[in-house]
Amino acid sequence: MSDASPGSDRRPGVLPDGGHIVSFPDGDAVVTGGAGFLGSHLVERLLDDGADVTVVDDLRGGNREWVPDAAALQEFDLAAPGAVDDLVAVLPTGADVYHLAADKYVDNDEPIEQYARNTRMTQHVVAAAEAADAERFVFTSSSTVYGEAPRPTPEDYAPLEPISAYGAGKLADEGLLSARAHAGAFDAWTFRFANVVGPRLRGAVVPDFIEKLQADPSTLEILGDGRQEKSYLTVGDCLDGMAHAVARANDPVNTFNLGTRTTTSVDRIAAIVAEELGVDPAYSYTGGERGWKGDVPKMCLSVEKLSALGWEPTRSSDDAIRRATRQLIEEL
């Protein structure tokens, strides 16, 4: 395990309403998926903000080296039959629960199993949180719950019609959390993310392009037609937004989009990555408007609900891509 990374992308500053960036609650916190990309950055932020953190991760998609030494790592599978008991054993009474663990690949080859596994993990974490009298349950959902929706998409858009098993599972998880929160089990915060980018990101368009061009600077294969266009958010802005919502929204169920008001096309991402690497490749395309089955080719979330509480993203989508590209070139 490592010390907290300087790549955590935190940008201390002043919010648009004049207040300073908000801290996460201190006290006991359990982070599922805390050895993964966003989870490990969240663990660092929680530690910085004074929390005592336990990470639960089976390390299938995470990295032990990304977990700070100050956090306790518990390695087990949250989808396994005995997971509730295992989790209760490491959950301090009244701890805050941050549930990030999931099989995150939208183009999974076994979508029904992915849906079952992801929803089973959430059922287990909810049961353990209730047994431990958790006060706050923070859940990382996804823009994929909206499916192909008008843009910018607000939180109250309906009907929600996800086009992937991943998105369907996230929507089912949101429903369970809503039901249990309204029953008084805990207060819940659900965050529907745009595409979050930064250090440690793997299996996404920016690291994919970097690795392809490092292997062969002369050509770059692009999935789809290159005109897919989505919103990208730095990990630092993402965590600031989460902390802000947890501090300033206190309903039984609090649902927020997190993204930017700007978008970046896949062709533009390719150009930024090539520019940062100093190469000039020829592009080839696999064709079609989608990069893979279940891909939503156009996505931009409304962030006005969280903006009304005083939060704003500090970087545009293009700026987020460029910053992440520079950070990932140093890593890969």
pLDDT digits (tens, 9 = 90+) for 130-160: 999 999 999 999 999 999 999 999 999 999 9
Q: What percent of the chain has pLDDT over 70?
A: 94
Q: Tell me the torsion sign for CA atoms 280, 286, 287, 292.
A: negative
Q: 280-313: per-residue pLDDT in tens?
A: 999 999 999 999 888 999 999 999 999 999 999 9
Q: Which two tokens mark 158?
A: 């309906």
3-state secondary structure of 122: helix
Q: Which amino acid is at 40?
A: S
Domains 25-196+232-258 and 198-230+262-331 belong to one CATH topology: no
Tokens of 180: 């249990």
Tokens of 33: 């998926």
Architecture of domain 25-196+232-258: 3-Layer(aba) Sandwich (3.40)
Q: What is the mean pLDDT of residues 190-202?
A: 97
Residue 18 tokens read as: 């004049």
Give CA angle at 240 (189, 131), nearest 5°: 30
| 238-263 average pLDDT score | 97
Q: For residue 19, name the pLDDT band (cuts at 50, 70, 90).
A: low
CA–CA separation, 185 and 135 (whole Å): 8
Q: What does the block give as tokens for 227?
A: 């005109």
pLDDT band at 3 (very low <50, low <70, confident <90, very high): very low
- Contact, 176 vs 239, CB < 8 A? no
pTM recorded for the entire structure: 0.93
Length of the chain: 332
- Residue 311's closest CA among 232, 238, 235, 230? 238
Class of domain 198-230+262-331: alpha beta
**What are residue 183's phi and psi, to 5 degrees?**
-85, 0
Q: What are the phi and psi torsion angles at 218 (to 5°)?
A: -85, -20
Instruction: Give the residue among 46, 40, 25 at the shortest CA–CA distance from 198.
Output: 40
For the chain, the structural domain boundaries read: 25-196+232-258, 198-230+262-331
Q: What is the pLDDT of residues 71-121, one digit of tens each?
A: 999 999 999 999 999 999 999 999 999 999 999 877 788 999 999 999 999
